[in-house]
Structure 1
Amino acid sequence: MKYTRYDLRRRKKESSKIFVFFGMIIITAVIVGTILAKIIFNGNIVPKKSIAPINNSSIQNSKEEGLSFIFVQCGFYAKKENAEEVRNQLKERYNTFYLIDNDKIRVGVYFGTAEEADKLSKQLTTEGINNLKITFQVAKKDLCTSEIGEMVSGYLQILHKLEEKDVKSVKTSEFKAWTNSLKEDSKSENIEVFREFKKNINELPEEISRENLEGCYNAIFKVLNPFKVR
Structure 2
Amino acid sequence: MEGGTLSEMYKATQKLLIRTKDGLARLEVLEFSSSSSSSSSMPSSSYNGGDKNYDEVSVLVSTDMAQIQSICSEMDRLWRSIGSQGQRGLWKRKVEQVSEEVDSLKRSLDKQLMRRHVRMQAAQERTELLQRANGDTDHVLRIFDDEAQAMQSARNSSKVLDEAYDTAVAILSKYAEQKDRLKRAQRKALDVMNTLGLSGTVLKLIERRHRVDKWIAYGGMIAVIVVVYMFWRWIH
> Which of the two has higher C-alpha Rg?
2
Which structure has the highest strand share of the two?
A: 1
> Which TM-score applies when normalising by structure 1?
0.21
Compare relative contact order (CA 8 Å, sep 6+) and give the higher one, 1 or 2: 1
Which structure has the highest helix share of the two?
A: 2
> Which TM-score applies when normalising by structure 2?
0.21
